[in-house]
Amino acid sequence: MQEQTTENTPETISADDLTTKINDSGRRSKLYIKLNKKFSEAFTQFCDVAKPGNMSDDEFASMIFMVGMDTINQQILNAEEELGEEIKVDDDETGPKVI
């Protein structure tokens, strides 16, 4: 008889598991993020593990948001740099252009 084992495979969560809404009043913007039950449980577990003890939940959520924005910004800058290098290589290969 073969033994059955239960593996602890993490459930995947995606953007479909949350709802976002941005209210832009001109002077200020408010970002609302509503998590479904599965995402909320995963976020709570993440906070329990990753949040420094001296930081409030609000401060930690703000830090996550800012780090995410910084990461995306860095990816954009890297992509621009790579594109610039590709254009430079293409120009070098074709030589000077005479009009």
Largest CA distance in the chain: 81
pTM of the model: 0.65
pLDDT, mean of residues 85-93: 66
pLDDT, tens only, 19-74: 999 999 888 999 999 999 988 998 999 999 999 999 999 999 999 999 999 999 99
Domains of the chain by residue range: 15-50, 55-93
Please give the pLDDT value at position 97.
Answer: 59
Please give the pLDDT value at position 32.
Answer: 92
Please give the pLDDT value at position 5.
Answer: 45
